A and B are shown apart, each in its own frame.
Chain A
């Protein structure tokens, strides 16, 4: 009988402390009850087409300075390449795709874009006008920024 009371008491305290923990944790939707509407932040809009965005370091994948809504990339076609390929960049006035993108994993240079560079938006992303979440004091080297 004593044993059972002890176990019961233990379970009770465990249950209560669990309750305390779950009260202090706030999930991504905040402390809202499940049947309340959560507060939504308005969706950010992508910037309009602009000039190329300055790079911060040499190896950085350049940011996309234009809208890419509805640009499809699949095995049949790649919308980005219709402007950035060597065949099309002049007419489109676009930056020609980097030569490094023709290299396979084993450093073989291929005749067309390498499969590991085919899905452009893995690395290149368009921008929204948003405040940085944390302070960032990074400054590019002078060879890039041109400023002492």
Chain B
């Protein structure tokens, strides 16, 4: 360590540490350093992805009662939970993007959800219902923006057999999608109860009577 540098540093501890880190290694070879660096990189990366995967399954999603008591119970009545073929769509299938970069962004947003968990923003059924329109609108907006990317991970329009679909589905799918609509425009409430829809589509809710 040159005298000049340590003088500049004086007593600042961070600065001292930086000085040590900056100094070329004398005890370890470059090769050792590379190998150790590589291994710890792999470990960090693996740990990071493991953490992402651990938080990316249904059990994790419903480990808090806000989800288990509300959306999960409703979802259990729907086609994505139980159907003819037994193929399921779980929470992350619809709510977490598959592509890595989009997934990381979604996971970072989730920290806001943890904050509200701590604050108890939706910790009763009444509070949940009160916030529901806002929560649902966020999902609708996101899906609209991505052209319902998560739905399309499983449902590919190219491979839909119109001969097998119902009369209304064929008509809506052949006309609606051409008119620039996306899945979520027509399939709101596919997995959960809808919020009070009076402000969204006044015709489809009785409102105040």
Chain A contact residues: helix, strand, loop or mixed = loop
Over the window 113-136 of chain A, the binary record of Cβ atoms lying under 8 Å from chain B Cβ atoms (1 yes, 0 no) is: 101001000000000000000000
Q: Which chain B residues border A87 with CB–CB below 8 Å?
A: 201-204
Residues of B that sit less than 8 Å from A by CB: 77-79, 166-169, 171-172, 189, 193-197, 201-207, 209
Establish whether residues B168 and A118, one from each chain, have CB atoms under 8 Å apart when the complex forms: no
Asked if B203 contacts A72 (CB within 8 A), the reply is no
Number of A-B contacts (CB under 8 A): 71
**Chain B residues closer than 8 Å to A99, beta-carbon distance:** none
Contact A49 B167 (CB under 8 A): yes
Alpha-carbon distance between A17 and B130 when the two chains are bound, in angstroms: 63
Asked if residues B204 and A88 are in contact (CB atoms below 8 Å), the reply is yes
> Is the beta-carbon distance between A67 and B166 smaller than 8 angstroms?
yes
B197 touches A76 (CB 8 A): yes
| A63 sits at the interface (CB 8 A) | no
Q: A91 vs B205: C-alpha distance in the bound complex, in angstroms?
A: 18
Interface residues on A, range: 20 to 34
1/0 per residue, CB under 8 A from B, across A48-78: the answer is 1111000000000000001101101011111
Q: Is the CB of B171 within 8 A of A77?
A: no
